[in-house]
Structure 1
Amino acid sequence: MMPDVKKEEQTGWLVLAGSAVVILIVLWLISDGGELAEAAEQANAALSVGGREDMAVHVERQVEANGELRKTIEALKSQTDFVLADEFAIAATERQPGYFFKRKFVEVRERLRDKAERSKIAYDQNIGFGADPAVPPDEQAPYLLTMLQLTEKIVGIAFDSERPLESLSVSHGPAIDTGPETRPALVREYPLKLEVRGGLKDILGILHRISQSHPPGKDGKRSDFPLILRGFSITSENATPKDDIQQLAAVFDLAAMRFISEEERAQDPLAFQPVGGGTRGSSSGRPVFHARP
């Protein structure tokens, strides 16, 4: 039996989420300040050796447009950039980040377990981190703590559905740096996948809430962030068309996006390459840390 979902409604959700991410990344890439800034400087230098005055005006307008574009990007970043909660931040005095992650993992697992018991939802209590009791390497701790925060957010959203879901599972992907081929990376994506079984209304409720975030506090500081919908599929598990209650299986391909700071980018080896020089193994980005098996 096919799920009773309006095609226009499905398409609208996917287009809205997909286009927002594409627009944001494209704007950010073309305003990297590498090739564009270099071209503007070269054009401006040419004026001193006989360039025309209208070329100077053109360069000035291009620089102004670039500045306006950066303002737009900063506004978009302020709405979508990942925010690491203080609870999951590793203090400078922390000597064993791996143990710190383990302690936080136990705390989050207990909080989610309490929620699940009230709703009687079947799920893997290791929430995508595997059953390995070993403490992870310290260098993996920042990635793992980020994924732990994301996991608690999305699983918490799923547990808060109006009617209890039948089942739930979550898995993590490697963090990926993305940016121009020959320039320092601009964005770090933290992907994860949520798979649920339940009713249509509750699945659509999850789809709606993943894009929401709490507004900044009175001090202007952000404490929440939206999740980016990278992909979505939904299928019916009804045995016959006569089944009264639709049981659906849905897969949410999600990610949080963290924009890499200028300080971090300045330490990338590609920052010391001439504009247009240097190489990166793949234009699709590069893995940073991998999820534990």
Structure 2
Amino acid sequence: MLDTDLCWCGSGKQYAECHKSFDERLNSIKLKKFRGQCRPPRQIIKNEKDIEGIRKSGIINNGALDLIAENICAGMDTETVNLLAHNYIVEHGGIPACLNYEGYPKSICVSINNVVCHGIPSRDIVLKDGDIVNVDVTTILDGYYADASRMFMIGDVSPKAKKLVEVTKECMELGIKALKPWGFIGDVGAAIQYYAHKNGYSIVEVLGGHGVGKEFHEEPFVAHFGKQNTGMLLVPGMVLTVEPMINMGKKDVVIDPLDNWTIYTKDGSLSAQWEKTVLITETGTEILAY
């Protein structure tokens, strides 16, 4: 590519003033095939317009989760939680990404106690004292996605359940801390795995984080277990989610055969999850949705 050509990232800038130095650094890094190291494809590197689009979508997504945090309580059915998020997103110009995604019937996921993820909101499911609840919200604004989930502890939660929620959040934060420009994606899983196992918990391995931007799920897959210095190279402009699912019991999960969405722990143990959308910058990270 010539210096005066428009950059491949779609920024509209000349290559020399946009991604030329980035490409030179990327190509200078020697990768180790036996560790599964690879360079990220260009199509997942976001330009300034993309990042701003995801950031604006994240503002709406954050607002929806803030509204839920202010209102969620014992006695509330999960369809009411769904409507709080749905109405907020629509009123602020967004689209609830989950609604009708591959047939999913609601605008958010609400997963209680032994539900790992993809719990379907319902008038028949009522939150009660002692529940731990994950609410997962994804918003589309002007074609850009932002994705995040939070845990909520309803009323008087047992010390064991509270610890699981707190350790899971710490796992997510440690995973995000391991996201460093010019590091490797395996660093994220290694940090989460060490801390979860140290606390006696297991990690759901068949599900993980993902790239996000103009699609709900983009490359790369973000495993929440693994080894340092393995996998895809992390570079500025990548946007992905870190969303560990941590079980109090074993790691195995099962999917509800009736709705083909709800995923439970196989042994019935409690599960918790936190999620943020994270941008990798030249100097570290920026949280775009939380």
TM range (shorter): under 0.3
More strand by share: 2
Structure with more contact order per residue of length (Cα contacts < 8 Å, sep ≥ 6):
1
Q: Report which of the two structures shows the higher radius of gyration computed on alpha carbons.
A: 1
Q: What TM-score do you get using the length of structure 1 for normalisation?
A: 0.26
More helix by share: 1
Q: What TM-score do you get using the length of structure 2 for normalisation?
A: 0.26
